[in-house]
Structure 1
Amino acid sequence: MISLQHLHFAYNKAVPILQDVNLELSPGRIYGLLGKNGVGKSSLMYNMCGLLFPSSGSCSVLGHTPSRRDPAFLQQVCLLPEDFEMPAMSIDQYIRLYAPFYPAFSSDAFEGHLQTFGIPRQQSLPALSHGQQKKVLISFTLATNARLILMDEPTNGLDVPSKRQFRKVIAGSLREDQSIVISTHQVKDLDSLIDEVLILEDHRIILQEAISSITEKLSFRQVMSLEETEAPIYSEGALKGYAVVAVNRKAEQSRMDMEMFFNAVMTEKEKILPLFNR
């Protein structure tokens, strides 16, 4: 569905942003694109949707080359940007103006997402807060039913209850022929939501792994003393003892802590990446 081969991107030759990025994404999955601020997550997503062009290498999305911006491609891809400015119009006017660009747009789905977020459809966009406007955009993006949905820092500006609502609408929206890529540095917001982790660091994807594979090879637990865990890879102080990431030598079942895993990879790359990179 999505294939990036040896992709390089730079705003100028002196400042490389992406180097030799190789990535294969499949339909029916939600991907979490994780990385620190400024690492190039937005640039990678913008290359996927044709707003930025690779310096070299190839990018194929849904059988199209995004940089050509063919209408048949643009109808199947929807990007939710991190920064936006809403036009001075009502929500209904917004839908009448922009929904025709997406042949599979569902008014019923849009209405359902607005209800989940508690946004009245009769509202004027300028009358909404920034967080409420973002909820409208999230609702619109999902209602397009585009085969590739890209969301750049979608939880920025959302309060805790709204982040819970966000996870709910995402989890109930994915179709078998769709891929959703969610970029964030607020890693905890993606807990229990994504199927596969992508970590961008040092200009490239350093890890791509399914959640099921991560929890098969690593265990996540709370312990009172570090002596209770044999050779933990990574640990953090918790309210009661320590939160620990360790090699899952006994095939234990544990619930993955996304933030802990990301911090562990960032801190202990030389110990964790060899477990996954084949």
Structure 2
Amino acid sequence: MIAIENLIFGYHKKEVVLENLNLHLKPGGIYGLLGRNGAGKSSLLHHICGLLFPNSGTCRVADKNPADRSPEFLQQVYLLPEDVYLPNVSIKSYIDIYAPFYPEFNHDLFFKFLTEFEILANGKLQSLSYGQKKKVMISFALATQVKVLLMDEPTNGLDIPSKKQFRKIIAGNVNDDQLMIISTHQVKDLDSLIDSVLILEDKKIILHQSVDQITEKLVFKQVMNLEEVAAPIYSEGALKGYAVVAVNSKHEQSRLDMEMFFNAVQTEKQQILSQFN
């Protein structure tokens, strides 16, 4: 579905943002794209949807070159940007104008999502708060039912109950023939939602592993004393002792703590990455 080979991109010759980046993604999953601010996450998403073009290397999405921006390609790819700027029209007028660009757009799903987000369908876009506008656009993005759905910091502007509702809606609305990438630096917002983790650092993807692969190699646990853990890699002080990421030498079952894992990669990168080589 997505095949990127040796991609190099920079806004200026001396400012390389992505360098020799390789990435292959298949449909049927939700990918969490993690990285620090400025790591190049948005630039990568913009290449996938054809808003930026590689200086060298290739990017293919659904067997098409995104840079060509053919109608067939644009009908099957949707990017929800971090900041949304909407016209001064009603929600229903917005749907009348933009939904026809997407042949698989499902009106019933759109209004169902609005109801779940507690947004009135007869409202005007400019009368909504930033968070409410974000909910409308999340609903629109999902209702397009495109094959490749890209979301850049979708939970920015959402309060805690809305983030919970976002996770619930996303989890129940990804088909086997779809591919979704959610980019965020608010790592905890993706807990229990994604199938695979992508970490962008040093201008390339340094880690691409499924959640199952991560919890097979590493164990996440709470302990009172670090001596209780055979091979700790990373630890943080917790209310009761320590939260620890350790080598899963005893094949223990644990739940991936996305924030802990990301922090562990940042501070103990070589030790973490060596577990997957």
- TM-score, normalised to structure 2, is 0.99
Paired AA for residue 34 in structure 1: L
Q: What is the CA–CA distance in structure 2 between the aligned matches of 1:38 and 1:83, rounded to whole Å?
A: 16
Aligned equivalents of 1:74 and 1:44: distance in 2?
17
In the alignment, does 2:244 pair up with 1:244?
Answer: yes
- The Cα shift of 1:130 comes to 0.3
Please give the root-mean-square deviation of Cα atoms over the aligned residues, in Å: 0.5
Partner of 1:21: 21
Q: Which runs of 5+ in 2 are unaligned?
A: none
Tell me what 1:263 maps to.
263
Identity %: 63
Alignment of 1:123-138 (within 5 A): 123-138=123-138
CA distance in 1, matches of 2:140, 2:63: 24
Q: How big is each residue's C-alpha offset from its partner over 1:115-162, in whole Å with a ceiling of 9 and x where there is no partner?
A: 111101011111110000000000000000000000000001111000
**Partners of 2:187 and 2:55 in 1: CA distance:** 29
1:91 maps to what in 2?
91
Q: Following the alignment from structure 2 to structure 1, what is the Cα–Cα distance between the partners of residues 226 and 25? A: 38
After TM superposition, give the deviation of residue 86 of structure 1 in Å: 1.0
Deviation at 1:234, TM superposition (A): 0.2
Q: What is the alpha-carbon distance in structure 2 between the residues aligned to residue 227 and residue 275 of structure 1? A: 21
2:211 corresponds to which letter in structure 1? I
Counterpart in the other structure of 1:63: 63
Query: Which residue in the other structure is 2:39 paired with?
Result: 39
Query: Which residue identity does 1:256 align to in structure 2?
Result: L
Per the alignment, in what secondary structure is the counterpart of residue 113 of structure 1? helix
Offset at residue 231 of structure 1 (A): 2.7
What corresponds to 1:119 in structure 2?
119
Residue identity in the other structure for 2:139: S
Tell me, what secondary structure is at the counterpart of 1:233? strand
Residue identity in the other structure for 1:241: G
Alpha-carbon distance in structure 1 between the residues aligned to 2:15 and 2:201: 15
Write the deviation string for residues 153-208 of structure 1: whole angstroms up to 9, x where unpaired.
00011110000011011101101110000000000000000000000000000000
For structure 1, the residue ranges without an aligned partner over 5 or more in a row are none
State the secondary structure of the residue aligned to 1:236: strand
Deviations 1:52-88 (A, max 9, x none): 0011000000010000000000000000001121110
CA contact (8 A) 2:84 2:133 kept: no
Residue-pair matches, total: 277
Distance 1:168 1:86 in 2: 25
Separation of aligned partners in 1, 2:7 and 2:259: 28
What TM-score comes out, normalization by structure 1 length?
A: 0.99
